[in-house]
């Protein structure tokens, strides 16, 4: 993933203008609430999760429940499409994005 000329090859999260490299999940190819809630702010309106090139990273139903409870739109897509969606969103300050890049 290329962000402003810097190439990233490990999983990462983007929160406002901050990039958090080496996004690790408690269960490898599974994303649960504990893997993303540290980045959710009160202003967050959208959560984008890139599930890998082939979409192999599973997003648990608990994330859907969490997002509904906090009025956050959940968007899960294979990583390439998730990046395109993130880039298309005009107000990125209200978006949290987590991308699985390694497979």
pLDDT in tens, 44-89: 999 999 999 999 999 999 999 999 999 999 999 999 999 999 999 8
Give pLDDT tens digits for 2-47. 998 999 999 999 998 899 998 889 888 999 999 999 999 888 999 9
91, pLDDT greater than 80? no
How many domains does the structure of the chain reveal? 1
We report the CATH number of the domain holding residue 67 as 3.40.1230.10
Domain around 58: 2-99
Residue (of 85, 98, 78, 100) closest to 15 by Cα position: 98
pLDDT value of residue 93 = 78
Strand partners, 93: none
Residue (of 98, 50, 94, 100) closest to 72 by Cα position: 94
């Amino acid at each position: 993933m290329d962000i402003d000329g810097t190439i990233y090859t490990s999983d990462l999260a983007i929160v406002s203008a901050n990039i958090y490299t080496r996004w690790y999940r408690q269960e490898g190819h599974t994303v649960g609430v504990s893997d993303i809630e540290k980045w959710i702010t009160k202003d967050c309106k959208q959560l984008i999760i890139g599930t890998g090139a082939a979409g192999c990273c599973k997003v648990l139903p608990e994330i859907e429940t969490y997002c509904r409870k906090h009025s956050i739109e959940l968007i899960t897509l294979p990583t390439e499409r998730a990046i395109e969606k993130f880039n298309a969103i005009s107000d990125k300050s209200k978006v949290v994005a987590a991308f699985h890049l390694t497979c």
